[in-house]
Amino acid sequence: MLSRTASNLFWIGRYMERAETGARLLNVGARNALIPNTGGGYRNEWESILAAGGHANAFAEKYGEPNQRNIESFMFFDMDNPASIASCMEAARENGRIVRTALTSQVWDALNSGFQEIREMRRTERSKMSISDLIDWTHSQAALVRGAIDGTQLRADGFDFLHLGYALERADSTARLLDVKYYVLLPQIDYVGSGFDNYQWETVLRANSAHRAFHWAYGGEVTPAKIADFLILNRKSPRSLITSAENAMHHLDRLSRAYGRGTEARTRVRSIVGELAETTIEDIFDEGLHEFLTRVIGEVSILSGLIHAAYLSGEMR
Amino acid sequence: MFCSAFMSNYFNEMFSGKTVRPPYQGLDSWSADMPQELRSLKQSEAEALFRRIGITFAVYGDGGDPDRLIPFDMFPRVFSAGEWHKLELGVKQRARALNAFLADVYYRGEIIRAGRIPADLVYRNEAFERAVMDIKPARGVYSHIVGVDLVRTGPDEFFVLEDNCRTPSGVSYMLENREIMMRMFPQLFRENRIAPVEHYPKMLRRTLASVAPERCDRAPCVVILTPGHFNSAYYEHSFLADMMGVELVEASDLFVEGDFVWMRTTEGPQRVDVIYRRIDDAYLDPLCFRPDSMLGVPGLMNVYRSGGVTIASAPGAGVADDKAIYTFVPEMIRFYLGEEPILNNVPTWQCAKNDDCKHVLENLGDLVVKEVHGSGGYGMLVGPKSTKEQIAAFADKIRENPGNYIAQPTLALSTCPTFVDEGIAPRHVDLRPYCLVGESIELVPGGLTRVALTEGSLVVNSSQGGGVKDTWVMA
C-alpha cells in the first residue's frame, strides 16, 4: 500500500473520532444548560467545553459571548474551527475521496452522504434544527462510517490504519477530557456528598458517553477513584485509555505480522499497554492525575510520530 | 410530441422524415411510452447515483463548483454494427499513423525530409520535446491512448475534429454512463443487443503492461500518475486505478534511485515499470523540463532515457495532436501506411499563412476559430452564434497573433433525441472513442458522446454546459 494512502486512511479514523468527541462535548453542554444555575454553573460548563478542545481563544475572538447558539455554530458548523464537526467530517470525506479506491463503496457512501447532508443543513434554517438533532445526527453518522468499516472493509493493512487512527484519537481525547476536569476528581473531603461533586462527576462520565455504562460496571456510589479507574484502567470501558492503547497495539501487531517487520511504534505501544496494565488508580493519584494525563498525552503523540515514521512517510527501508 | 420544427436541416440520427432509422428502432416505443413522471423520477435517480458515486467535474474560474455533476442525458446515442465497423477502421488507422509520425519526428524525420510537412511546424512547435530525441520507447509506441474527436454530418459522413494523443479524458463517463443505464433500464438491454464496454480497464491494463521496458523481467508494475485530488479529472484517475487494480500515485509518492523509479509504500520502496501519467510533460521531471517547478519526480527522465521505465503517453507525444499538425494527418496516413484516409479531416485554415488568414478574417461570421494549443472549448469563436462586437474583438486578437489560430467551417453537426424540459428534442452531439495502442491496437465498441444541451448550440464541452450520453454499438 502507498504510504500516502495509509496516511489518508489513518486520518479518516482520527477525524471521524474527533467529530464524535465534538458531539459528546456539545451534549454535555446542552444538558448542563438545562440544569438550574446554582453557583454560576452552566456558563462555566460552556467555557470548560471550549477549554477541552483547546479553542477558548479562537472562540472568544470570533464570537465573544459563549452562549448556546454561538457554541453550536462554532462547534458544529464553523469551517474556521478545524475541530468543528463539519470540519472533521469534511476532512474525513476529503481523505476518503483521495483514497476512494482503498475504501469499499459502503464506507465511501457513508463518508460522502454525511458530507452531502451537512451541505443540506447549511441551507436549513437554524431554528429548525435542535442541538439534540445535531448531536444525534453526528453520532449516527459516525456509527454508520464505523459500521461500514467493520462490516465491509477487507481485513488488510488499510483496515489496520483506519483503526489506528481511531484508537490514537480516542486515547488522546479521553486523556484530554479527563485532564480538563481533573480537579473535580481530586479527593477533597469538603465536597464529597455535597451534590455539587455528584453533578460534576456525572459530567465527566457524560462527556465520555459513559454514565450508564459506568453504573453497570461499578454500581453503588460514584467516587472519583471509580470514575478515573473506569476511564483510564478498565478494559470494559470502550473509551478508556487502556482499551484504546490495546486497540492500537492489536493493529500494530497485525501490521508487523503482515509486513514481517517489527517497528519502534510497536515496541512503544507495548510499553504503554504494559504500564497501564500494571498501574493502580492509587499510583495515578500519587503521581498526580494531571501529571499522569500530561504524560499519557505526550506518549500518544510520540506513538503517532513513530507510526508516521514507520509506515506513513515512506522513508522506512 | 416530437418537436422537429427546429434544426430540420441537420442530420437527425434517429429520424429520417417520419421513419425511425434502424439502429434506433428499439428506442422508439421506449421513449414514446415513458410518462413524464417516470422520466423525472429516473432522471433524479440517475443524478443521485452520480452524486453518490462521486462523479463530479470541477469547473475552473469564478463561482466554479468543485463538485458539479456533468449533466447526464438518458436518451442513448446508437450506432449500427456497420457504422461502427467503418469508424473503428478509421480510428485505428489514425492511431497507427500518429504513432508512426511521432516515432519518425523524434528519430530521422523522414516525412519532413520528404517535404510532406514543413519542418518549422514540427521542430519549432511548442509541444515538440527536444529532450526525447533519439529515445526509442518500448515497442516504438508514443501515444498509448488516442482519443479521436468525431462529428457526424450525414448517414455516411464523419469528420475528425481533433486528435488527443496525450491523455484524453472522459473514459470514466463512458463506463459509468453504461453502468447507470443498465441499472435503470435493464429491460432495454435485454431487448437490444448492445455491445459491452466494461472490459476497457482490463484492455488498458494489458496495453500498458505490454509496453513495459525490455529490461523488466517480471510482471510489470503499472501505476497511474495524477496531479492530485484537486484536479478536475481526479475522479477519473481514481476510478481507472480502481478498475485496473493498480496504484494511483502522485509525484511525491515516486522517487528515483539507481536505474529505476520507485514508489513509497508501507512496506518500503517498490519498483515501478510503467507510468500512465495524467500530468503534462512540463511537470514530469523538474531536472529536465522546469527547474522552477516543485512538482514532478526529479531524475525521472534519466531513468526513461536509459530504458528503466515506460511513460505513457511518451513525453513529446503532444506534437502529434497539435491543431496545426492536425491538417497533415491525412498526409501522414498516405506517407507511413500507404493507405487513403478512411475518416476525413475538417477543412482547416491556418491563420499563420497569409492567404488563409485573409480568408478567415473576411469570413469570420461563418467560421469556428480555435486557439492552436487551446482545449476544453475555452477561447474559441463560433462565428454564426456571435455578435458583431464579439467578432470584431476576436478579429483583433487574430491580427495580433495569427499563428495562434486556426479556423474551420461551421459543421452541420448531427443531432440525437435528447430529454429536455418540454419533452424530447434533437440536440447536437459529437463522439470520442478511445483507441488503445500497445502490442496490438484495440478499440472498445463505444465511446463518450457529448451533447450540447442548449437548443441550437454546437459547443459540447462539459466546461461550457454540455452533457453526456450513453453510446451504444449494436452487436
Q: Is the pLDDT of residue B115 over 60?
A: yes
Exposed/middle/buried for B414, CB within 10 Å: 0-12, 13-18, 19+?
buried
Same domain, A264 and A159: yes
Contact criterion met (CB < 8 Å) for B238 and A316 = no
Q: Which grid coordinates belong to A282?
A: 492509587
Q: Is the pLDDT of residue B472 over 60?
A: yes
C-alpha to C-alpha distance for A267 and A264, rounded to whole angstroms = 5
* Mean confidence (pLDDT) of chain A: 87
Same domain, A138 and A165: no
> Across residues B16-38, what is the average pLDDT?
89
- Among the residue ranges A142-156, A213-227, B121-135, the one predicted with the least confidence is A213-227
Better pLDDT: A96 or A54: A96
Same domain, A10 and A65: yes
Q: Is the pLDDT of residue B7 over 90?
A: no
C-alpha to C-alpha distance for B462 and B457, rounded to whole angstroms = 13
A12 within 8 A of A142, measured Cβ to Cβ = no
Contact criterion met (CB < 8 Å) for B253 and A261 = no
pLDDT of A219: 78
* Residue B456 banded pLDDT, cuts 50, 70, 90: confident
The closest alpha carbon to B430, from B149, B170, B21, B175, belongs to B149
Same domain, A162 and A236: yes
* Residue A35 banded pLDDT, cuts 50, 70, 90: low
Closest CA–CA distance from residue B49 to any residue of chain A (Å): 11
List chain A residues with CB under 8 Å of B237.
Answer: none
Domain boundary among A110, A135, A153: A153
- Among the residue ranges A166-170, B42-46, B298-302, B441-445, the one predicted with the least confidence is B42-46
* Residue B61 banded pLDDT, cuts 50, 70, 90: very low
> Across residues A290-296, what is the average pLDDT?
93
Better pLDDT: A129 or B429: B429
Same domain, A53 and A196: no
Same domain, A50 and A184: no
Give percent above pLDDT 90 in chain B. Answer: 66
pLDDT of B225: 97
* Residue B309 banded pLDDT, cuts 50, 70, 90: very high
Q: Is B238 on the interface with A (CB under 8 A)?
A: yes
- State the Cα torsion A290-A296-A302-A305 to the nearest 10°: -110
Beta-sheet pairing, B247-249 with B222-225: parallel
pLDDT of B4: 38
Same domain, A120 and A179: no
- Among the residue ranges A251-255, B126-130, B305-309, the one predicted with the least confidence is B126-130
pLDDT of B60: 43
**What is residue A260's three-state secondary structure?**
coil
CA atoms within 13 A on the CB side of A272: 32
Domain boundaries, chain B: 15-342+412-473, 347-409
Same domain, A188 and A95: no
Q: How many domains does chain A have?
A: 2
- DSSP-assigned states of every residue in B386-416: S-HHHHHHHHHHHHH-GGGEEEEE-----EE
Residue position matching grid coordinates 512496506: B267
Convert the pLDDT of each residue in B345-357 to its tens digit: 998 888 888 899 9
* Mean confidence (pLDDT) of chain B: 89
pLDDT of B377: 63
Domain boundary among A109, A129, A153: A153
Q: What is the pTM of this model?
A: 0.84
Same domain, A107 and A180: no
List chain A residues with CB under 8 Å of B263.
Answer: 2, 314
Bridge partner list, B432: B448
Contact criterion met (CB < 8 Å) for A313 and B242 = no
Same domain, A148 and A175: no
Same domain, A20 and A102: yes
- Interface residue of B266, B267, B270, B275 to substitute, partner A, most A CBs within 10 Å: B266
Q: Which grid coordinates belong to B400?
A: 495580433
> Across residues B382-404, what is the average pLDDT?
89
Domain residue limits at A247: 155-317
Whether residue B313 is preceded by a cis peptide bond, meaning omega within 30 degrees of 0, is: yes
Q: Where are the beta strands (DSSP E) in B286-366?
A: 310-312, 344-345, 349-350
The closest CB to that of A314, out of B234, B239, B265, belongs to B265
Q: Is B54 on the interface with A (CB under 8 A)?
A: yes
Domain boundary among A153, A178, A201: A153
Q: In terms of CATH architecture, what is B347-409? A: 2-Layer Sandwich (3.30)
Cα torsion angle, B126, B130, B131, B134, sign = positive
Q: Is the pLDDT of residue A213 over 90?
A: no
Please give the residue of chain B at the shortest CA–CA distance from A110. Answer: B52
Q: Is B266 on the interface with A (CB under 8 A)?
A: yes
Same domain, A232 and A202: yes
Q: Is the pLDDT of residue A116 over 60?
A: yes
